[in-house]
A and B are shown apart, each in its own frame.
Chain A
Amino acid sequence: MSNIARSAFSLAALLLVAGATPASAASSEADFKAAFGAAEAANKQAGVLRNQWTVTAGALAEAKKAADKGDFDAAVASSKEAEALARASIFQAESEKDAWQALDIH
């Protein structure tokens, strides 16, 4: 198994575990701000790599909307989804630095 494939399987497992972990307590505004900040930072990094995903922006917007309504549980959940998406886009950009050559007609 290539390193890229191994990393992708690890990412899949991590995302499943993260998604399956139940929230133990109601989220606060501070929790939202921390989660949203982390997601924005990851998405910014994807932007530097010129590889942002539209769904990341969508999840960030959902998080903001939920926070504006005072629903911080939903806001934190959307922020975490946005961060996971941003990290996946970073992973994609990094792995494609070499992987693109597999498709090249030459």
Chain B
Amino acid sequence: MTLIATQSLTKTYGRVTALSDLTVAVEPGIVGLVGANGAGKSTFIKILLGLLTPTGGQVRVLGLDPVADTAAVRARVGYMPEHDCLPPDLSAAEFVTHMGRMSGLPGTIARERASETLRHVGLYEERYRQIGGYSTGMKQRVKLAQALVHDPDLLLLDEPTNGLDPAGRDAMLTLIERIGTEFGISVLVCSHLLGEVERICDAFIAIDGGRLLRSAQLSEMTTSTDVLAVEVSEGVDELAARLAELGLAVRREDRMLLVSLDDEATYDVILAAVAELDLPLHRLDQRHHRIAELFARRELADA
């Protein structure tokens, strides 16, 4: 079943066009909705939730029409808004329980699922403290939990990493990836940063000025495109030379080295080389897809 399908979707506010002739179709999985601020991402999400009626065109969410079947769509969708939406005087446990009931969960089940969900997003004993005293990272987790508490089939996340520090961003993205893979819930992640969400997404919708820039399903891409990103704070050239010597395919990109991932042993080879040269290692992680490259190359070809 197609997760989200639109046909010539258009939304105008008076003379302002928020979405123009948008046609996309994405399969279940983790979908990145990427575009600059004001590109129409929030309008798109609101249409998916049935909060806005499109001016023209068709839209289907989980095979349902959010305009005609608003209730059916909302029962199966969880929404995490971009802005602050948490009451500071309630505990996370109390708040998420209440939101579970607001999604139709019976009383005690809502309480059980709230504490389960909060545990899954990484809040344990803190959940009995008032939300007002939480850090930004914890608040984002509560926002995610309230969207997840009724076990939706699709999560709509509007800029979930906003306001987080780099470590918090990584943790949030890892969490979203787990929701998409381990929990089996499809996710639409909105972001204005392509690079940020590319490592977790299976498909992309890139919009700009309300128009579709690019839409790509990446499931068919083979793992041979997998690369390891290595970042060291100094001695990048030395490391590149050393890895090339060891017979690895190395490419330089800004301050990062991209190494083709042949097998699991590649990790050890890189770590050994870094240790041998005594370099401070910043990051070493796997990149499934080189989306930015893909888009950039196509755009250059178009131009």
Q: Do A and B come from one complex?
A: no
Interface residues of A (CB under 8 A from B): none
Interface residues of B (CB under 8 A from A): none
